Amino acid sequence: MKSLKILLAGTVAALALGGAAQAQRGTDGDLKILFWQAVSTLNPYLSGGTKEVYSSSMVIEPLARYDETGTLVPWLVSEIPTVANGGVASDMKSITWKIKPGVKWSDGSAFTADDVVFTWQYCTAPDGGCAQKAQYEGITKVEAVDPQTVKVSFAEPKYYPYGAFVGAQSPVIQKAQFKDCVGAKAPGCTAANFGPIGTGPFVVKEFKPNDVITFVANPNFRDAAKPAFASVTLKGGGDAASAARAVLETGEFDYGWNMQVEPEVLETMMKAGKGKLVTAFGTQVERINLNWTNPDPALGDKRSTVEGGKHPSLSDPAVRKALSMAIDRDIINEAGYGAAGKPTCNIVPAPDIYISTANDWCLKQDIAGANKLLDDAGWKKGGDGIRAKNGVKLSYLYQTSTNSVRQGTQALVKDWWQQIGVASELRNISASVFFGGDPASPDTFQKFYADVEMYTNNFDGTDPEKYLTEWLCNKIPAPANGWQGQNMPRYCNPDYDKIVAELSKTSDLKQRAELAKKANDMLTAEGAHIPLIHRGQISSTAVTLQGVRMNAWDSELWNVADWSRKK
Shortest distance, CB of residue 261 to another protein, whole angstroms? 7
Residue 92 or 335 having the CB closest to another protein? 335
Nearer to another protein, 111 or 257 (CB): 257
Q: In terms of Cα–Cα distance, which of 356, 362, 360 is closest to 327?
A: 362
Footprint of another protein on 29-48 (CB under 8 A):
none
Q: What is the CA radius of gyration of the chain?
A: 23
Contacts of 113 (CB under 8 A, 6+ apart): 99, 144, 145, 146, 147, 148, 149, 150
Q: Enumerate the β-bridge partners of residue 31.
A: 232
Number of other CB atoms surrounding residue 529 within 10 Å: 24
Q: Does 264 bind another protein (CB under 8 A)?
A: yes
Using CB under 8 A as the binding rule, the residues of this chain from 184 to 243 that contact another protein are 241
Provide the minimum distance between the beta carbon of 363 and another protein in the complex, in angstroms, as a whole number.
17
Beta carbon of residue 102, minimum distance to another protein (angstroms, whole number): 49
Nearer to another protein, 366 or 554 (CB): 366
Kindly determine how many residues on this chain lie close enough to bind another protein according to the rule CB under 8 A: 29
Q: Are residues 231 and 216 in contact, defined by beta-carbon separation less than 8 angstroms?
A: yes
Contacts of 6 (CB under 8 A, 6+ apart): none
CB of 265 to another protein, least distance (A): 5
Give the whole-angstrom CA distance, residue 437 versus residue 398. Answer: 19
Smallest gap, in angstroms, from Cβ of residue 298 to another protein?
Answer: 8
> In the complex with another protein, which residue's Cβ is closer, 334 or 495?
334
Q: Among residue numbers 268 through 287, which ones bind another protein (CB under 8 A)? A: 268
Q: Alpha carbon 316 to chain centroid distance?
A: 29
**DSSP string over 284-329:** EEEEEEEP-B---GGGGGGTTSGGG-B-TTTTSHHHHHHHHHT--H
Least distance from another protein to the Cβ atom of residue 54, Å: 23
Stretch 322-351: interaction string toward another protein, x if CB under 8 A: ---------x--xx----------------
The site string for another protein over 403-442 (x = CB under 8 A, - otherwise) reads: -x--xx-xxx-xx---------xxxxxx----------xx
What part of residues 295-324 is at the interface with another protein (CB under 8 A)? 297-298
Q: Whose Cβ is closer to another protein: residue 72's or residue 340's? A: 340
- Please name the amino acid found at residue 164: A
Q: List the strands of the sheet with 392-393, edge to edge.
A: 380-381, 387-389, 392-393
Q: How far is the CB of 449 from another protein (least distance, A)?
A: 8
Binding characters for another protein, 12-31, by CB under 8 A (x = yes): --------------------
Q: List 269's β-bridge partners, or say none.
A: none
**Pure H helices in 337-391:** 367-376
Minimum Å gap between C-beta 415 and another protein is: 5
Closest by CA position to 554, among listed 50, 139, 152: 50
Using CA atoms, how far apart are residues 520 and 525, in angstroms rounded to an integer?
9
Cα–Cα distances in angstroms (integers) from residue 408 to residues 332, 367, 417, 546, in the given order: 8, 20, 14, 34
Between 5 and 393, name the residue whose CB sits nearer to another protein.
Answer: 393
In the region spanning residues 443 to 472, those forming contacts with another protein, defined by CB under 8 A, are 443
- What's the closest the beta carbon of residue 441 comes to another protein, in angstroms? 8
Which residues of the shown chain bind another protein in the complex (CB under 8 A)? 241, 261-262, 264-265, 268, 297-298, 331, 334-335, 402, 404, 407-408, 410-412, 414-415, 425-430, 441-443
